[in-house]
Amino acid sequence: MDSAAPLHILLTNDDGHAAPGIRTLQRVLREAGYNISTVAPSDERSATGMGVTSRRNLSLQQTEETSWHLDGQPADTVLVALRHILHNDPPDLVISGINFGPNLGTDLHISGTFGAAAIAAILGVPSIAVSAGLIPAEANHAPRRFPSTHDVLEPAAVFTRSVVESLLESKEPGGRLLPMSVLLNINYPALPRDKIRGVLHPEISGGHIVELVYRHCTETGQLVPGYKLGVNPDQPRDSDGDVRAHLEGYITVSAVKPSWNPPAEEAQELHQRLKGLNINA
């Protein structure tokens, strides 16, 4: 790195502080000379979106000089890091991941990995969410499930480092790493390098790559949540989104801007339909 002060990066995830993805990313970025702080959940907190903890106290444990784990959600870790632990030394960049499994399409709404990065972006801190793909057929592989995902954690971390370096090299002096409130969502397929077809920058797809399903348990009367593929790998539903690109073997780097505002024309049309509202209705 050319700058006198190394870039300060906050790492988090939703798989827990001991997960191999965040450990690999931490090592690769430290070896590159970056100043790394890690605040991650104490255990796995997948599919928690941007949920936060507000009705109980949180346990914070320090494991290294610049590493902590928090008994909370991924979004909690970012808030605690920015507003408490690193209040006097804020990070230049937040990276959430490497998640064990892809985060694509509308699954971003429930992803704890993406949720943590989105919270950072909303608070004005440049952020990146990083995920590694899965091969469904490896779910019952022995002695270790999803070996291909484990194999790509290192190259996914190296690729993420190259993204950070590109952002640093391309920004104007004194400028931001990313536009305000815009974050990057990276998905690295579970493929060897010679099988990866390249890098694409697709829009977020409108469908799910994974869907929640529910099974009724006759013994307890409860519903048991589970997962199924939300798309046929051989026939992706969208023609140019991130789901299709991922399934076709591309690394995807998508720009995302969380927003709750619809296009102006849609909002105006709806407001016109509601123009007769009054307090005496």
- Domain membership of residue 219 (yes or no) is no
Average pLDDT over residues 86-90: 97
- Domain membership of residue 102 (yes or no) is yes
- Domain membership of residue 203 (yes or no) is yes
- Domain membership of residue 100 (yes or no) is yes
- Domain membership of residue 166 (yes or no) is yes
Average pLDDT over residues 141-162: 97
- Domain membership of residue 165 (yes or no) is yes
Per-residue pLDDT of 95-121, as tens digits, reads 999 999 999 999 999 999 999 999 999
Per-residue pLDDT of 191-230, as tens digits, reads 999 999 999 999 999 877 778 899 999 999 999 988 887 7
Distance CA 134, CA 136 (A): 6
Distance CA 258, CA 122 (A): 8
Higher pLDDT, 260 or 132: 132
Higher pLDDT, 5 or 88: 88
pLDDT band per the 50, 70, 90 thresholds, residue 2: very low
Please state the domain count of the chain: 1
Give the pLDDT confidence score for residue 232 in this predicted structure.
67
Range of the structural domain that residue 247 is part of: 8-208+236-273
Give the pLDDT confidence score for residue 233 in this predicted structure.
61
Which CATH number covers residue 104? 3.40.1210.10
- Domain membership of residue 228 (yes or no) is no
- Domain membership of residue 53 (yes or no) is yes
Distance CA 214, CA 192 (A): 34
On the question of pLDDT at 62 being above 80, the answer is yes
On the question of pLDDT at 281 being above 80, the answer is no
Edge-to-edge strand list for the sheet holding 127-132: 60-64, 67-70, 35-41, 8-12, 93-100, 127-132, 183-188, 250-256, 198-200
